[in-house]
Structure 1
Amino acid sequence: MPGVEDWTDNPLDVIQNLIDQHGISDNTAIRDYFGKRLQHKKALSMIPSLNDVALHNLRPNCLVKYRCMIQDMFDPEFYLGSYEVTDMKSKQTLMLSGKYKDVADARAHQEINIESDRNVTMDRQTLYCVPVPGESDWVKAGYASQSVQTPGASTSNPHVRSKRGRDDDRDQGVSDISDQPMNDIDTNQVGAANGGVAASDTEPKRNRTAPSAGAAPSSSVDLNHPLPGETGLACLVKTYDDIDSFKVNDVVEFIGILSVDPSMAQFNAKPEGMEEVHPEFETEAERNAHAPPPSLVPRLHAILSRKLSHNNPHLPPVITDPDFVQALTTAQSEIARIRSELLSILEHAVFGDSLSAEYLLCHLISSVYNRADMMPLGKMSLNISGCPAPSQDYSKLVHCLVSGLVTQSYLFPLTIENMNQMKLSPAKDYSANRLRSGLLQLSDATQLIVDETMLQPGQLNPDGLKNITALGNLIKWAKVEYDFNYHTQEFPTNVNVLVLSEGESLLPKDCHTKLEKRHNPDDLRSYFSQLDARLTDELLGKLRVYFTLTKQLEYSISDDLQKLIQDDFVTSRKDNPKCMTVDDFHSLLSLVRLLTLSNCQTSPTLDLWTRAKQLETERRQRVGPPRTTPV
C-alpha cells in the first residue's frame, strides 16, 4: 500500500495503477481512493493549499487544494485519455493514461504512437477560477492556520511567482532520472483538423528548461478578478466528473493535481519557421486568454470537489456534521449574551441609535432563501441615512467593523466617476471567448456596502446609466444581468447590500432607517477604536460563528401563529387600509423572520411578532412615508 508521500507527492502513479485495474472510464475508484484518505481533517490539513502556499514552493504534479469562485466556464476540452507507447528496447506496447495531465509523456526508451487505433480521445470541462472575491483577512488566516505548511513554503502574496523548468523539479527529488519523460505531447492539441487525435510527433521537441517563447510579463496577463485591487492566484481547474453540476459564481473547494508545465502557455509570438496553429478556429486573444503562463495561472486537475455552503474556517463545511450541530447548540445556549454584545457593538457604530442597530443586525444575517416568481424572499437591503460626511471616513470604519464579522465584504464608493468608468456587469468578450468580470460578479453571502455619501452632482454617460441600473436590479431583484452582446441573461445572486447615505438614498431599498445620534464624536477613528478592547479574540470567534449559523437555519411558522398573524393583518386593514399595505405586511413578515433567526430560533413567537410591529412603527414614524425610487 503506498505511503502518504506516494499518494500526495506522486498521485499520477497511483491513478495509473487504478486505471490499469479498473479501466480508463471508471472515475469512481479514483475518487474513492483519495476520498477515503482525505475524510479526516488531519489528512486534509497535510495537503498544501494554492490559496496559502507560493506556487514556486510546490512540486509539479503533487496533490493540492484550492478554495475559489468559478468566474468563467470554457468550452469542453478534448484530450488523449489513453494513448499507446512502444518500448524501443523490448518492442512491446502498453497503454498509458492521459487523465489528470496536460502533457502526454513517455520515458526515454519509449515512444508515443500517435496514429494508434487504440488511442482514446476524451473530453473534460475547464473552469476559470479566482479566489473568493472580498474574502475577509480573518477567513484567509483561519484556513491558512489549519494547513500544515510544507518545508520552505511561503504564505506571501501568491500573485508574484517565479518560473522554473521541470528538470529543476526533478533535481529536487520529484522523480528519478530514469523516469524523465523525453517524448512529451500536449494532450490538448486535438481538434477537427486531425480528427480528435493529438498533434503530430514531427513537431520540434520543446526545451523543458527554457522559458516558453514569447512569455508575457505578469502585468500583461488579465487575471479577471471581479473586484479591483485583488491579486490572489487564479487557476484553470479541469474537471472530469459531474461537469453539469458546476455553475458560474459557485464557491468550491477543489482537490487535485497541480500542473505547471511551461509548454502549456500559448503566447503572441510563435516559433520561427512555424505556421500559426489553426488560426481559423481561435483568435490570438483567445489563445492568450485560455492558455496563460502556468507560472501565473496554474492548472489543477480536480479529483475531488465540494461546494461550500459557507466560507467560515471555524465551522465544518457540511451543516450535517456533528461539529456543526454542536456549534449551533452552543450558540443557542449563549444566544442572549452573544446577541446583547453584538447589538451593543452595532449600536456604538451607529452612534447609540438602538433602532438602527436592530435593523443593521437583521440586515447582516438576511439571505435569499427562495424565490416566488421574480420576487426574492428573505433579503433585506438596508439604507441608513444621516451618515457623516465622507471626509470623516465613516463608511470605511463601518466596513472595517463588518469585514471583521462576516466572511466576504466590499466597500464600493458610489461616485459619478466610478459609475461612468467602472464595469459593474460581466460581459462576454467574443474575441477572447471569455467572460469579462464585473464588480457585481460576487459569490453568495457577500456583504456589499455602498458609500453614497461620496456622490456629488454630475452627468452619467451611457455606461454610467447601465451601471446604476445594474446596481438597482441587484438591490431590488437580487439578480445581475450578464451582457452577451446580442442578448442579456439574468443570473440570480444572493448579495446583501447596505447603502450609507446623508439623505435618503436614490437607490432601491427594502428598508430605510435614519440615524438619530445619541453620541456626536469629533474624531470618528478614535470613537471606533474604543471597540478594540471589547472585540477580543474569543468574542470575535463567537460572533463570526453566530453570523454563519444564523444564515444556515431553517425557518418555519406554526399554524396557530400563522392564523394569528393573518387575523392581525385583517384587523389592521379594517381600521385603516392605508396604514397596512401588502408591501408593509411582507416587510413585517421578513422582519419577524430575521428577528427569529437573530435569536438562533427556527420558529417565531408571539413576543417576536409584537417586537417586529413595534420596530416597524417606530421606524416609520422616524423616516416618514417611503418615496418612489427612480431606479
Structure 2
Amino acid sequence: MHPSIAEPLKVVQALFEQAGSPVAPGSEDWGVQAHFEQLLSDPSIRAQVPCLTGSNVDMIPINGLCSYRGMVQDTLDLEMYWGAYQRECGGWATTKYSDCLGEAPAAGSSAAQPQAAARAASKRGREVAAADSDAEAMELADSVQEGIKGSEGTEASTKASKVGGTDGGGANGMDAPASALPAPEEGDCLVYLYEAGERVHLNDVVEVYGVLSRVPELAQPHLAAGAAGAGHWASDGHAQTLLEEELAARQPTSLVPRLHAIAVVREADGAGASESSLRARAGELRGRAVGVLAAALGGDRFAAEYLLLQLVSRVYTRQDTLTVGPLSVSITGCPRSSRPPGAGEPDQAVSPLTAALQAAVAALVPRCVSLPLGVEHLNRATWRPAREHVSNRLQRSALQLPAHSSLLLDETGLAAGMLTAVGIDNLKAVKGLLELKSVDYGFLVYQLPMAADVPTTILSAGTSLLANAVDVVVPLHATHAPGASTAMAGDVLGEVRAWLAAVRRLNPRLDDAHVTAEIVAARSADPSLRPEQLHTWLLLARLLAASWGEAEVTPQRWTEMRAMEAARLERAHICVTSVKTG
C-alpha cells in the first residue's frame, strides 16, 4: 500500500514542516490537498484506498486513509481546536486531520498559558448519510435494458449501502442516558471539513477521502458524567441540555465513524468529455431519451416530451419568493395500482407504470426517488426534516433529497380516507416544494425554509390532489402496457445521460423583442390568459431550446412550444369532455 494511504498523517506533518510550520494551520493548506488530489488522480493508487462500509469499519487502520460516499444531511456548529502546538524540542506539529496530539506539547502550551506555544484553528462537521453506490445505480440502469414486469426493479432504487458501526454501544462499553444520546441512522458518518467545507452544501452528494478516527475517549467523560449523575441531570434541565449538546457533537465513534476530509469530490449532475459534441448530436440523443420515457409511459411520446423537459429543468434564478426553473408535471389518466387482498397497505402498492417510469428516469438522471402519495402514507410520519431537540441531529425525512434528484409522486393507489394533522402538514410540505421550490426544516419552535431544486412528476388516475400547484397537466394516452426500452446498448445509454446533463446546464436566452410581441399578440387573441400561464410558456420555451442543445430561444422553438401547449390543452379538453359525457 502506498505510504500516503497507510500513514497520511505523517505526510501531512512532513508537508507542514516543509512549509515552515505556518502560524495558523487551520486556515492554510500548505500543499496537503494538492498532494493528495494528484495522488488520487492515479487510478492504480486510488484503487488502494479502502471504502468505508459497515462490514469493514473495524478493519480499516486508525488514522488510515479511506473513502466514503454519502449525502450531506446536516451541518454542525463551528468547532475550535488547537491546530498546532510546539514540541518539547522546540519544533512545531499540527493536529489538523486528527483528533489527538501526537505527543505531549511543550510546557508553555499548558492550560494556564496556551497561547505561548499553541495556535487555535476551526473546523466544521457535516453529518453525512449513506448514498446509493454506483453499482446500485448501474443495476437500476440495467433494468431498462432488460425490461420491467410489475414492480420489479423498484428495490434497486431504494437500496442504501450501510456504513458505520454496528455495535450500538457507547464508548468503552458505557451507555449514555437515552434522552442524552440521539440514536444516529445506520449509515451515518461525521465528516470534518477544512478548506473544502465552503464548497459543500446541504443535500450535496459527496465522495470524501479522509483520515479515519476512532477515539472513544472523546465521549467518555460526558458518558461517564451522565451515567454517574443521571438523577442530577434529570433535576437540572440546564445541565442536562449542556450534556446533551456535548454528546451530540461528540458521539461515540463506535456509533458514528469520524472522517477528517483531505479531498472532497462533489457529485455533478453528470458530465461528458465534450459537451459541444454531445449538443451537436442533440437530435439523435434527444430522440433516444424520449424513446426510453415513451416506452415507460405505454408508448405516449407526447407525454414523454413534457417529461423530458422536466428532466432538463433546474433552478435558473431565485429572487425573494420567486424561483424560475424547475418544471412540475402531472400525468393524469394513469392505470390504478392493484394488489391482492390483504397484501400490505393500499398506498404501498406499486403499479407497473410507476415502476417502469421510475426505472426509466433513474437510467437517465443521477437518481429518481418515488413516494406513494396516499392517505395512509401521508398520515404515517412527518415528511419535513426536523429536530426534536436542540442537540439532536436533523432527522432524515422523505423530502430531504440528494442534489440532482428527480421526484416521482405516485397517486395511482390513492383511496378514500381522512387526513390527520400530520397528513395535512405533509401535503402542505409537498405543495411548498412544487410552488416555492423549498422545503421547511423544523427547528423546535420555528420553520426555516431551505432552497430545493427537485423537478417533480405526479402520476394519478384522476385529478391530482396537487393539480393547482403543478405547472402543466398532461393526460396520458397509452397505446400499450408500460415497459422498458431495450433499443440502447450500455455505452449509448451513457452518452444519453451525459447529453442530458450537458443540456441541463444550459440557460437559453430569450429574445425580449420577439417574446414581447408574441405575448402581446396572445393576450390580444385571448384576454383571459393569466400571468402564470405566460410564465409557464417562457419556461417551456427555454427548456425546449435547451433540450435541443441551443443557447437561445429561436422563433422556431417558440412556435413549437405553442403547438405543444395547444395540443396538450386539446387533449385535456377531450379527456374532460369524455368524462362528463361518459
TM-score by length of 1: 0.74
Name the aligned partner's letter for residue 515 of structure 2: I
Is 1:67 the equivalent of 2:69? yes
1:218-274 per-residue CA deviation (whole Å, 9 max, x = no partner) reads xx97434xxxxxx5x321111233655544223334332121234345599638996
Q: Measure how far apart 1:352 and its partner are.
A: 2.2
Q: Which moved more, 1:422-431 or 1:242-251?
A: 242-251
The correspondence for 2:190, drawn from 236, 247, 251, is 236
Distance 1:80 1:626, change over 3 A: farther
Map 1:571-610; keep pairs closer than 5 Å: 571-578=521-528, 580-610=529-559
**Paired position in structure 2 for 1:444:** 403
1:326-345 per-residue CA deviation (whole Å, 9 max, x = no partner) reads 43233223322222222222
Is the 2:280–2:549 contact (alpha carbons within 8 Å) kept by the matching residues of 1?
no
The correspondence for 1:250, drawn from 204, 219, 229, is 204
**Paired position in structure 1 for 2:56:** 54
Is 1:128 the equivalent of 2:89? no
The correspondence for 2:483, drawn from 528, 541, 545, is 528
**Paired position in structure 1 for 2:80:** 78
Distance 1:605 1:57, change over 3 A: farther
Name the aligned partner's letter for residue 369 of structure 1: Y
1:368-401 per-residue CA deviation (whole Å, 9 max, x = no partner) reads 1112432211211000000011114421232122
Is 1:570 the equivalent of 2:520? yes
- Return the alpha-carbon distance in structure 1 between the equivalents of residues 85 and 139 of structure 2: 41
1:560-613 per-residue CA deviation (whole Å, 9 max, x = no partner) reads xx42232122122222212x4332222122112111111122223322221111
**Paired position in structure 2 for 1:31:** 33
Distance 1:272 1:284, change over 3 A: closer
What 5-or-longer segments of structure 2 have no aligned partner? 142-159, 339-350, 577-582
Distance 1:461 1:97, change over 3 A: same
- Return the alpha-carbon distance in structure 2 between the equivalents of residues 374 and 397 of structure 1: 35
Is the 1:213–1:267 contact (alpha carbons within 8 Å) kept by the matching residues of 2?
no
Two-structure CA RMSD over aligned residues (Å): 3.7
1:461-501 per-residue CA deviation (whole Å, 9 max, x = no partner) reads 21221111011000111011112222221111101111000
SS at match of 1:425: coil
**Paired position in structure 2 for 1:348:** 295
Q: Which has the higher helix share?
A: 2
**Paired position in structure 1 for 2:224:** 270
**Paired position in structure 2 for 1:201:** none
**Paired position in structure 2 for 1:515:** 476
Is 1:327 the equivalent of 2:274? yes
Name the aligned partner's letter for residue 528 of structure 1: G
Is the 1:254–1:302 contact (alpha carbons within 8 Å) kept by the matching residues of 2?
yes
Is 1:97 the equivalent of 2:94? yes
Is the 2:337–2:412 contact (alpha carbons within 8 Å) kept by the matching residues of 1?
yes
- Return the alpha-carbon distance in structure 2 between the equivalents of residues 568 and 475 of structure 1: 27
Is the 1:423–1:438 contact (alpha carbons within 8 Å) kept by the matching residues of 2?
yes
Map 1:71-470; keep pairs closer than 5 Å: 71-83=73-85, 95-106=92-103, 117=114, 118-132=117-131, 137-138=136-137, 157-159=161-163, 161=165, 211-214=172-175, 222-224=183-185, 233-241=187-195, 246-265=200-219, 270=224, 280=239, 282=241, 285-310=244-269, 312=270, 315=271, 324=272, 326-391=273-338, 392-470=351-429
**Paired position in structure 2 for 1:189:** none
Name the aligned partner's letter for residue 212 of structure 2: L
SS at match of 2:58: helix
Is the 2:286–2:547 contact (alpha carbons within 8 Å) kept by the matching residues of 1?
yes
Distance 1:548 1:72, change over 3 A: same
Name the aligned partner's letter for residue 125 of structure 2: T
Q: Measure how far apart 1:367 and its partner are.
A: 1.1
- Return the alpha-carbon distance in structure 2 between the equivalents of residues 54 and 556 of structure 1: 51
- Return the alpha-carbon distance in structure 2 between the equivalents of residues 597 and 456 of structure 1: 39
- Return the alpha-carbon distance in structure 1 between the equivalents of residues 515 and 53 of structure 2: 49
Q: Measure how far apart 1:160 and its partner are.
A: 6.7
- Return the alpha-carbon distance in structure 2 between the equivalents of residues 82 and 496 of structure 1: 46
SS at match of 1:103: coil
Name the aligned partner's letter for residue 122 of structure 2: D
Is the 1:482–1:490 contact (alpha carbons within 8 Å) kept by the matching residues of 2?
yes
Name the aligned partner's letter for residue 537 of structure 1: G
**Paired position in structure 2 for 1:555:** 508
Name the aligned partner's letter for residue 472 of structure 2: C
- Return the alpha-carbon distance in structure 2 between the equivalents of residues 626 and 441 of structure 1: 35
SS at match of 1:513: strand
SS at match of 1:610: helix
Is the 2:86–2:93 contact (alpha carbons within 8 Å) kept by the matching residues of 1?
yes
Name the aligned partner's letter for residue 76 of structure 2: F
Is the 1:134–1:408 contact (alpha carbons within 8 Å) kept by the matching residues of 2?
no
**Paired position in structure 2 for 1:192:** none
- Return the alpha-carbon distance in structure 1 between the equivalents of residues 39 and 355 of structure 2: 44
SS at match of 1:280: helix
- Return the alpha-carbon distance in structure 2 between the equivalents of residues 302 and 216 of structure 1: 31
Is the 2:54–2:166 contact (alpha carbons within 8 Å) kept by the matching residues of 1?
no
Is the 1:335–1:599 contact (alpha carbons within 8 Å) kept by the matching residues of 2?
yes
Distance 1:465 1:133, change over 3 A: farther
Distance 1:15 1:306, change over 3 A: same
SS at match of 2:515: helix
**Paired position in structure 2 for 1:168:** none
**Paired position in structure 2 for 1:149:** none
Q: Measure how far apart 1:445 and its partner are.
A: 1.9
- Return the alpha-carbon distance in structure 2 between the equivalents of residues 404 and 6 of structure 1: 39
Distance 1:421 1:24, change over 3 A: farther
Q: Measure how far apart 1:79 and its partner are.
A: 2.5
Is the 1:65–1:255 contact (alpha carbons within 8 Å) kept by the matching residues of 2?
yes
Name the aligned partner's letter for residue 483 of structure 2: F
Distance 1:80 1:275, change over 3 A: farther
Distance 1:455 1:22, change over 3 A: same
- Return the alpha-carbon distance in structure 2 between the equivalents of residues 112 and 79 of structure 1: 13
Name the aligned partner's letter for residue 74 of structure 2: D
SS at match of 2:239: coil
- Number of equivalences: 528
Distance 1:39 1:512, change over 3 A: same
Distance 1:479 1:431, change over 3 A: closer
1:178-219 per-residue CA deviation (whole Å, 9 max, x = no partner) reads xxxxxxxxxxxxxxxxxxxxxxxxxxxx9xxx95433999xx
Is the 1:371–1:377 contact (alpha carbons within 8 Å) kept by the matching residues of 2?
yes
Distance 1:555 1:55, change over 3 A: farther
Q: Measure how far apart 1:622 and its partner are.
A: 1.6
- Return the alpha-carbon distance in structure 2 between the equivalents of residues 160 and 237 of structure 1: 12
Q: Measure how far apart 1:431 and its partner are.
A: 4.6
- Return the alpha-carbon distance in structure 2 between the equivalents of residues 492 and 272 of structure 1: 38
